[in-house]
Amino acid sequence: MKIHEYQAKQILAEFGVPVPKGRVARTPEEAKEIAEELGGKVVVKAQIHAGGRGKGGGVKLATSPAEAEHAARAIIGMQLVTHQTGPEGQKVKAVVVEEQMAIERELYLAVVIDNVAGRPAIMASAAGGMEIEEVAATSPEQIHRVTVDPAAGFQPFLARELAYAVGLDGDSVRLAVQLMGALYKAFIANDASLAEINPLVVTNDGRLLALDAKFNFDDNALYRHPEVVALRDLDEENPLEVEAQSMGINNYIKLEGNIGCVVNGAGLAMATMDSIKFAGGEPANFLDIGTVNDPQRVVGAFKVIKSDPAVKAILINIFGGMARVDVIAEGVIAAFKQMDVGMPVVVRLEGTNLEQGAKMLAESGLPVIRATDLGSAAREAVQAAGGLS
């Protein structure tokens, strides 16, 4: 789960990471008010989840409250296009109005999980303000990392190593150690998957502040963080994906093709997409139906796929282990009863309780196309969707 910059900064502030003075504004008038409080010289920043806001015109400097109001009027309501939003862009509902800082240096700082080590890692770079993926690709030697032993927890020496590595000295090292400790604490306390400050700025008067901030959270741990769930902004997510989640389908990703896929297991779901492409077609989605044995979830999957107008055929590929084929068959039959499916459906079933499932489907007399293996299922689906793309 992702949140907005202003929400991330609230979390940081709560844990003792210094952030610029400022607040979120939802109207130009509010933006003006905040600018007045801050003395007029401010930055106005669009609040959307995607990065690259500055290049798209979502960040403006103002030297007076009137200018701040003007900037907010231009940004709030705009359809902001960045390299992360897609060509349609994302509608801006709010801006952050913040004091301008006199910046001496821009650094990068983040806490992530190092999957190989199985531990949290703190990453720092002197190349602040750039996207870290770009730094990793062009000059990986500029990224410094330490991992934290969870038994010992955060230790100042780790932060000192990073602070010296990015060229800090004197009192700023002490400030950086404090700041990294606070960031690490915020990461752990919230079950974050990413806590990123980019840039972390060193000001002319020697302070360290989080000029921009990003938090992502471990979806599997949200059950123990209702205060984090409350920060969710559904307008920032794909509406079809949100609808899928409301039906218990947490692994639906909309793609560009015309063959709707219902599969159990992430690996088989990817392999099904691969098979469709190898057969000359294009998958409309990635969908892992999961292992909860509830026929209504199959009905939900049909609903989600049908609400994508591009879909011309549906491919159901189930290899039951934990998931039971008879439950899936029951769901397919229920879906045909509850809605006008209105397009060809190719079904390939294997695994746990196959016999019962196959029998139920055969006896139902439904007009589904049965396939016996992955390759033929993909070919049938491509043909049913209107041939090669």
Partner 1 sequence: MSILMDGSTRLLVQGITGAEGSQHARRSVEYGTNVVAGVTPGRGGQKMDEVPVFNTVEQAARETGANVSIIFVPAAGAADAILEAEDAGIPLVICITEGVPVLDMVTVKRTLIGSKTRLIGPNCPGIITPKAKSRAGIMPVQVFTPGKVGVVSRSGTLVYEGVAQLTANGIGQSTSVGVGGDPIIGTSQREVLEMFNHDPETEAVVLIGEIGGNAEQDAAEYISSSMKKPVIAFIAGSTAPPGRRMGHAGAIISGNTGTAKAKKDALSAAGVTIVQTPAEIGATAKRVLTECGLF
What residues are annotated to the active site? 108, 196
Enclosing H/E stretch for 210: strand 208-210
Can you tell me the distance from the alpha carbon of 209 to that of 41, in angstroms, rounded to the nearest whole number? Answer: 18
**Minimum Å distance from CB 127 to partner 1?**
14
224 binds partner 1 (CB under 8 A): yes
Q: Residue 40: which residues within 8 A CB-CB, separation 6 or more?
A: 62, 63, 64, 65, 68
Q: Tell which residue, 213, 267, 271, 239, has the closest CA to residue 96.
A: 213
Nearer to partner 1, 266 or 339 (CB): 266
Distance of CA 380 to the CA centre of its chain: 33
Q: Which of residues 284-303 bind partner 1 (CB under 8 A)?
A: 286, 288, 290-291, 293
Can you tell me the distance from the alpha carbon of 219 to that of 299, in angstroms, rounded to the nearest whole number? Answer: 24
Q: Which of residues 95-114 bind partner 1 (CB under 8 A)?
A: 112-114
Considering only 137, 141, 157, 230, the residue that binds partner 1 (CB under 8 A) is: 137
Can you tell me the distance from the alpha carbon of 119 to that of 341, in angstroms, rounded to the nearest whole number? Answer: 47
Per-residue x/- marks for partner 1, 298-337, CB under 8 A? ---------------------xxxx---------------
188: tokens are: 């752990």
User: How many residues belong to the site for partner 1 (CB under 8 A)?
Assistant: 63
Considering only 302, 352, 368, 380, the residue that binds partner 1 (CB under 8 A) is: 352
**Minimum Å distance from CB 65 to partner 1?**
39
**Minimum Å distance from CB 33 to partner 1?**
38
**Minimum Å distance from CB 361 to partner 1?**
17
Q: Tell which residue, 349, 346, 386, 383, has the closest CA to residue 366.
A: 346
Amino acid identity, position 354:
L
Enclosing H/E stretch for 331: helix 325-338
**Minimum Å distance from CB 252 to partner 1?**
11
Per-residue x/- marks for partner 1, 253-282, CB under 8 A? x-x-------xxxxxxxxxxxxxxxx----
Nearer to partner 1, 247 or 253 (CB): 253
Asked whether 108 and 132 are in contact (CB, 8 A), the reply is yes
341: tokens are: 């499916």
Pairing status of strand 213-217 against strand 192-203: antiparallel
Q: Tell which residue, 159, 184, 158, has the closest CA to residue 174.
A: 159
Considering only 312, 350, 370, 383, the residue that binds partner 1 (CB under 8 A) is: 350
- Write out the residues near partner 1 by the rule CB under 8 A: 112-116, 118-121, 132-133, 136-137, 140, 145, 149-151, 188, 191, 193, 218, 220-221, 223-224, 251, 253, 255, 263-278, 283, 286, 288, 290-291, 293, 319-322, 350-352, 354, 373-375, 378
